[in-house]
Amino acid sequence: MVAWPRGGPQASIESYRSEMRDAHARGIDGFALNCGGWDLNEPHYKRRVMDMYEAAASLAFDFTLFVSADGRAQDEIVDIVESTRSLKAQLRIDGKPVVSAYGAGGKRFSGGPVLIDRAKKLGAFFVPHFFPESGERRITPTAADEIVQRLGSAEGYFYFGAAGSPDLIADSIATLSAELQAHDKLFMAPVTPYYRGLPAGTNYRAFETEGFSGMAAEWEAAIASDASWVQIVTWNDWAESTYVAPLPMPAGASGRAHVYEDRFGELLSHGLPRRQRLLHSVVQNGKKTFNFAGPVILFLSIESGGVGWTRGAAHSNATLNAYPRYALFKGACYASRGFAGIGFGQASRRPGRDHAPQRGFARGDAALRAQAPRNSNHR
């Protein structure tokens, strides 16, 4: 979100370049720039966006950008398109500048048809998000059909999905992708990180994702459904803990940072290491020896403490603070059939052989005890 650059309210062009280098090093090829305002009502949005385009244009590799108009920025769609159309870093499809929107036309889509028509007249490649009548918690086939009908001349659809449970997001991705492909529309699918609002904020809630397992399920759904594009959707990044960027750590810091403003407190780094090693190890299991391909990734996750925590649900202040229990989730990428186990003290759990994947991301979990974890890989 353009509202919350990692470099703070006065982020420099070099700061934006640094974010883009970090993204590029992790296989991300561009940013969708969410703008809640533009030039007339909140001019800092346009200033920051212009700096971001300048930063991207000066990189030694291709890194493309497009604006996603949110709220009052949609009133200035003409200036957004005309200001970015000819810039070097602007993403173009079939020669058209790409532009998106969040909540296009308002929550009930009342201004949606006018916005879509305006984008067409501007010669833009328009990929908006908007809410179907039933909301977007789960996109049913009926809702997907409604979305396609409302799109009209727009070239595609962006499904937001953030702040939802991974299983519902994955199911909605599959439903939407099939319907949009059947009507020759582009689909920008979401992959959204762990979500946790701050106690001092207005969205104090959490959506359990079982370590990386929930995000992996969203990726798997996007890949299996052959989605056109994937957007890693972060939202009010620091206040709602949806960021994926590595955080700048002061010298001597112990894995926490203050970002943008001190009011967000100490933030843990969600960033993956710059270098991910592919592990090739030989593991003995009885008389069988097999090759295991990594990486193995461990994730700490807060579970319920007998107070009614339901995965994917929103929770009150009292629920979040009561009797937390922790679990460690292990994710492993297998080059061939296998399954993983983890354990603490006397507690351990591993997927049954009937559920072990032929390839891909295997999952396991165990209650966290005050002992060192034991990792085991099986075939």
User: 135-149: per-residue pLDDT in tens?
Assistant: 998 999 999 999 999
What is the residue range of 72's domain?
13-243
Q: Where are the beta strands (DSSP E) in 103-255?
A: 125-128, 156-158, 186-191, 195-196, 206-207, 229-232
| Together in a domain, 239 and 303 | no
Mean pLDDT of 109-120: 97
219 or 128, greater pLDDT: 128
The 8-class DSSP code of residue 368 comes to -
Residue 43 lies in a domain: yes
273 confidence band (pLDDT: 50, 70, 90): very low
By C-alpha distance, which of 66, 74, 53 is closest to 97?
A: 66
Residue 253 lies in a domain: no
166-182 helix and 141-151 helix, angle to the nearest 10 degrees: 50
Q: Which residues contact 89 (CB under 8 A, 6 or more apart)?
A: 53, 56, 57, 63, 64, 65
pLDDT beyond 60 at 339: no
| Together in a domain, 235 and 318 | no
Residue 94 lies in a domain: yes
The 8-class DSSP code of residue 307 comes to S
User: To the nearest whole number, what is the mean pLDDT of the chain?
Assistant: 77
46 confidence band (pLDDT: 50, 70, 90): very high
Residue 224's SS3 state is helix
| Together in a domain, 109 and 202 | yes
| Together in a domain, 198 and 339 | no
Q: How many domains does the structure of the chain reveal? A: 2
Domain boundary among 198, 223, 243: 243
Percent of the chain residues topping a pLDDT of 90 = 49
Residue 285's SS3 state is strand
| Together in a domain, 103 and 223 | yes
Percent of the chain residues topping a pLDDT of 70 = 67
Residue 254 lies in a domain: no
Residue 182's SS3 state is helix
Residue 238 lies in a domain: yes
| Together in a domain, 297 and 235 | no
Whole-Å CA distances, 129 to 37, 46, 112, 289: 17, 21, 10, 50
Mean pLDDT of 34-38: 96
pLDDT value of position 49: 98
| Together in a domain, 52 and 152 | yes
| Together in a domain, 62 and 194 | yes
345 confidence band (pLDDT: 50, 70, 90): very low
221 confidence band (pLDDT: 50, 70, 90): very high
pLDDT value of position 156: 98
Residue 34 lies in a domain: yes
| Together in a domain, 193 and 293 | no
- The C-alpha atoms of residue 233 and residue 174 are separated, in whole angstroms, by 17
The 8-class DSSP code of residue 200 comes to T
pLDDT beyond 60 at 111: yes
pLDDT value of position 34: 97
Among 88-97, 191-200, 229-238, 344-353, the range scoring the smallest mean pLDDT is 344-353
pLDDT value of position 363: 58
Domain boundary among 193, 214, 243: 243
Identify the residue whose tokens are 């449970």: 165
251 confidence band (pLDDT: 50, 70, 90): low
| Together in a domain, 350 and 239 | no
Largest CA distance in the chain: 72
Other beta carbons within 10 Å of 76: 19
| Together in a domain, 206 and 299 | no
pLDDT value of position 169: 94
Specify the CATH number for the domain of residue 46: 3.20.20.80
- The C-alpha atoms of residue 364 and residue 202 are separated, in whole angstroms, by 33
Supply the pTM of this predicted model. Answer: 0.79
Task: Kindly state the helix (H) or strand (E) to which residue 112 belongs, with its residue range.
Answer: helix 112-121
| Together in a domain, 210 and 75 | yes
Residue 252 lies in a domain: no
Residue 77 lies in a domain: yes
